[in-house]
Amino acid sequence: EPLCRSGVWRFRELLPFAPAEKIVTIGEGQTPLHPSVGVAKYIGLEQDKLFLQYEGMNPSGSFKDNGMTAAFSHAHMIGAKRAACASTGNTSASLALYCCMSKLMQAVIFIGSGKISYGKLSQALDYGALTMQIAGDFDDAMQRVREISQKLGIYLVNSVNPFRLEGQKTIMLRVLESLDWEVPDWIVVPGGNLGNSSSFGKAFSELKELGLIDRVPRLAIINAAGADTLFELHENRGLRWNGGNPDRKIVDSYHAELDAAGQRADTIASAIEINRPVNLDKCLRALEQCHGVVREATDQQILDAKSQVGASGLGCEPASAASVAGAKMLREEGVIEPGERVVCILTGHQLKDPTATVAYHTSDQAEFNRVLGSRGVNTAAYANR
């Protein structure tokens, strides 16, 4: 693939670490920004103010490919033969695909037990990754893979890897390009491991420094209510970037409380079922630079928003719809004004996680109960729309 056909590498002057001959690209980042009148109405915005950045259209079906091409190219630069990640499913699908297509490395994947949708798991398996389920959830898998990759010298591609974030900056470059470089008022993004939000903040502060934009948008990061560490720390406990010295006592005491209560992340949006985000500090910097806010969306709000994205003709997986649910919340609070231009990032494709979607729409009570029964979700909002 020529570099100019990659939506990441055609911006390579802004991520200048890889010599052209070492870049591994599979045509990632050719993703559109769509206006949506229907979703604007749902959120409560003027009809031409809402845009959806459709990252589900990447080769592996999620935004991860933007970062993976960069990390993978770096791994190739340094001669790595194996690359590993912990994943809720999208990072692993992406890594597996780059390994499979390039034949340069073996993918080694750690999944929390039962914590992955079959759409995502089937990608890793078909692409031939060494795929292991470990006892525990994503937070446990993340800790294990950090230890193991260090011990065995395996290249780690989770978003602790700074090259991942370099690639993900280009999502914002494409958004700006689609808007003729007119900076929108808001970027709204789901928050899990907080790599995206960190990279967006970096993109905007670099563009401003270069004089390519004259102001930065505000950033809204949306957690799932069952996995809301950033929301709790930033909105309720006042944790701030503080010039690179966020108050560790606030973070540690919150995690100690979670541990004492035996509380694990729990949400229908399995992609963001994370309580110990590895990019917390970088994300706090992005929140400061972009005058950001954090909100949390319940499973009900996420699934209702997801059905509206589906009705707009695009579709996304549950985690992605947190962005739309969060924008609606901020509009209702009056934080977002009806006339402001808002971009919501649709991080993953609708087909990634059909189980939740079918359960939400089905008239089969047993299937509904199996998937959503314990989550206090009702589907009246869609029926009445």
Q: Where do contacts with ligand F0G occur on this chain (CB under 6 A)? A: 62, 64, 87-91, 159, 190-196, 271-272, 317, 319-320, 347-348
Both tokens assigned to 315: 């579709």
Which amino acid is residue 162, in one-letter code? Answer: P
- The conformation of residue 46, written as its DSSP 8-state character, comes to -
The smaller minimum CB distance to ligand F0G, of residues 207 and 222, is found at 222
Minimum CB–partner distance for residue 333 and ligand F0G (Å): 22
**Mind giving me the DSSP string for 180-208?**
TTPPPSEEEEE-SSSHHHHHHHHHHHHHH
Minimum CB–partner distance for residue 214 and ligand F0G (Å): 27
Minimum CB–partner distance for residue 17 and ligand F0G (Å): 20
The smaller minimum CB distance to ligand F0G, of residues 298 and 368, is found at 298
d(CA 252, CA 248) in angstroms, rounded, equals 6
Minimum CB–partner distance for residue 298 and ligand F0G (Å): 17
The smaller minimum CB distance to ligand F0G, of residues 62 and 357, is found at 62
223, 346, 227, 218: which is closest to 287 by C-alpha? Answer: 218
The phi-psi region of residue 124 (left if phi > 0; otherwise alpha if psi is between -120 and 50; otherwise beta) is alpha
Contacts of residue 73, Cβ cutoff 8 Å, sequence gap at least 6: 18, 22, 23, 24, 25, 163
Minimum CB–partner distance for residue 270 and ligand F0G (Å): 9
The smaller minimum CB distance to ligand F0G, of residues 267 and 347, is found at 347
The smaller minimum CB distance to ligand F0G, of residues 232 and 368, is found at 232
The smaller minimum CB distance to ligand F0G, of residues 302 and 342, is found at 302
The smaller minimum CB distance to ligand F0G, of residues 169 and 368, is found at 169
Minimum CB–partner distance for residue 4 and ligand F0G (Å): 26
Both tokens assigned to 250: 């606030």
Minimum CB–partner distance for residue 349 and ligand F0G (Å): 8
The smaller minimum CB distance to ligand F0G, of residues 274 and 372, is found at 274
Starting at the edge strand found earlier in the chain, the sheet holding 342-346 runs: 33-35, 50-54, 342-346, 186-190, 218-224, 293-297
- Helix pair angle (280-289, 195-209), 10° resolution: 40
Minimum CB–partner distance for residue 265 and ligand F0G (Å): 11
Minimum CB–partner distance for residue 327 and ligand F0G (Å): 15
Neighbours of 186 (CB within 10 A): 25
d(CA 68, CA 28) in angstroms, rounded, equals 9
d(CA 326, CA 187) in angstroms, rounded, equals 11
- The conformation of residue 203, written as its DSSP 8-state character, comes to H
Both tokens assigned to 195: 């790599």
3-state secondary structure of 219: strand
The smaller minimum CB distance to ligand F0G, of residues 87 and 307, is found at 87
d(CA 69, CA 60) in angstroms, rounded, equals 11
